[in-house]
Copies of this chain bind each other. A is one copy, B any other.
């Protein structure tokens, strides 16, 4: 993979929100990035770690999770190509949660030191990255609402629409469907329900003709009804309004 290919989704993302000039772009392309293939479930960083590099998602998905109480897992975020899921480790040195791989994934590891240099000397990039961590936070807030106020059916509908909307913004959807290698158990961990209940919710959404889960592919069948069931408003994603 060339540097251009590696940094492409990342650059595209940054440019949505911020003026990135040629020198910024050169600086990003000259970062020392080590790419690595990783398989489903592999750990990138674990709670208590003190990482010395950040990981850029190039292909595939990454998730952030935490074990709560007696072994239950809560997933707190899904990350897609162009994201840096553990950028926070630059400033919060101890990991307070786990970061791991979903499906097969290509990651680029960027050591903290050159990244810190980049932030110091390229204010545009610093600002874009800061903004990125703020939209992450906005998504966390929406998840609090999701888990706190909506019933299980709405939660799943909402999560699907979020994934769809974010993936569409980076051109990784195929009409109204997209590839997402998650089992029902994983979805259950993300919306805070049991696997059994998750299964019933999936069936209900299927029977009502709203969406279809099929071996790593999610298809939206009736977007209008799904939006209504989900109580979904994309404002919190802070995407480029032109999309």
Contacts and interface: CB of A to CB of B under 8 A. Distances in A.
A94 B137 CA distance: 14
A51 B141 CA distance: 19
Interface in A56-112: 64, 66, 68-69, 72, 74, 76-77, 88, 91-92, 94, 96-97
A130 B128 CA distance: 12
Contacts of A96: 138, 141-142, 235-236, 238
Interface size class of A (residues with CB under 8 A): 35 or more
Interface stretch (A29-37, A145-153, A206-214, A215-223): A145-153
A94 B131 contact: no
A55 interface: no
Contacts of A140: 137, 140-141, 143-144
Interface stretch (A2-10, A119-127, A169-177, A179-187): A119-127
Nearest to A192: B148
A133 interface: yes
Given A91-B130, A131-B91, A135-B92, A97 B150 contact: no
A15 to B, nearest CB: 15
A226 interface: no
Contacts of A136: 137
Nearest to A149: B68
